[in-house]
Amino acid sequence: MSLVGVTVTAERPVPAREANADRLVRIMRPVLGLVLPVGAALLWELAVKVGLSDGRLVPPPSRILETLIDLARTGELQRHATATILRVAAGFGLGVAAGTMMGAIAGYSMLARRLVDPTLQALRAIPSLAWIPLFILWLGIFETSKVALIAVGVFFPVYLGLMGAVMSVDRKVVEVGRIFRLSGFAMVRRILLPAVLPAYVLALRSGLGLGWMFVVAAELLGASEGLGYLLVDGQQLGKPAQIVGAIVTFAVIGKTTDWILATVAAPFLRWEDVVARN
């Protein structure tokens, strides 16, 4: 009986319902990613509500939200977030500019690569935090040293990613450019640039991720504003809700900037033949 029922359902044309189901699946896909964090937050909230924990060191989500709303209402949150975002933007810009230039040159010319790559690789091996005292001595305790540290963090993934991408451009594709007698500049614009773009976007995204890491390091070590300052302030004054609130803000802004980068790049990468598309 049930078998017959199944057969009938399958044979009946149901385009409208299928379209609806499609839409539902598309809406539900990001929701799936929220199940774990939201579930954990609700559980913790519940645990504090029923008295399983006093939530003093690990504040329940409602208190974190409350703290964030308070900070936003006084304009503090916006001020700190803006300071941090501006630092990351400046550091990211500088790091990307330098990383792109050096990466392109080192990828293109073997001479340049042999000249600068060993030095840069050695510099890369230095733990980034080791730069902080030096940068403070050289550049002062204000913005410049912080931006410089972020730029250092952004530089290396961009440099490495672009150099690798330029070096691995397919000779066969370059030959197509040569057959059509492209000049050096046209070869870069019409062959090399599009060929390295996917790897470059990836390098920019990991650079941005490191930028967000380094801004925290910079702000933890002395700042009067910024999300990192909120962290230190929360620790010194015993306000765990403020610490977690700042962390959440970091996560949201970091993820948002990464999403913006990926979204801006997406139209240029539609041609890619990748597994993820299917």
Residues forming contacts to other proteins in the complex (CB under 8 A) are 172-173, 175-176, 178-181, 190-191, 194-195, 197, 270-273
End-to-end CA distance of the chain: 37
Residue 110 Cβ vs other proteins, minimum distance, rounded to whole Å: 15
Q: Which is nearer to other proteins, 9 or 185 (CB)?
A: 185
SS (H, E, C) 144-192: HHHHHHHHHHHHHHHHHHHHHHHHCCCHHHHHHHHHCCCCHHHHHHHHH
Q: Which is nearer to other proteins, 65 or 262 (CB)?
A: 262
Residue 180 Cβ vs other proteins, minimum distance, rounded to whole Å: 4
16 Cα distance to chain centroid: 39
d(CA 242, CA 116): 44
Whose CA is closest to 204, among 256, 164, 159, 251? 159
Residue 155 Cβ vs other proteins, minimum distance, rounded to whole Å: 27
Q: Which is nearer to other proteins, 138 or 180 (CB)?
A: 180
Whose CA is closest to 160, among 197, 198, 200? 200
Residue 188 Cβ vs other proteins, minimum distance, rounded to whole Å: 14
Q: Which is nearer to other proteins, 49 or 189 (CB)?
A: 189
Place of tokens 């302030």: 233
Q: Which is nearer to other proteins, 188 or 213 (CB)?
A: 188
Residue 190 Cβ vs other proteins, minimum distance, rounded to whole Å: 8
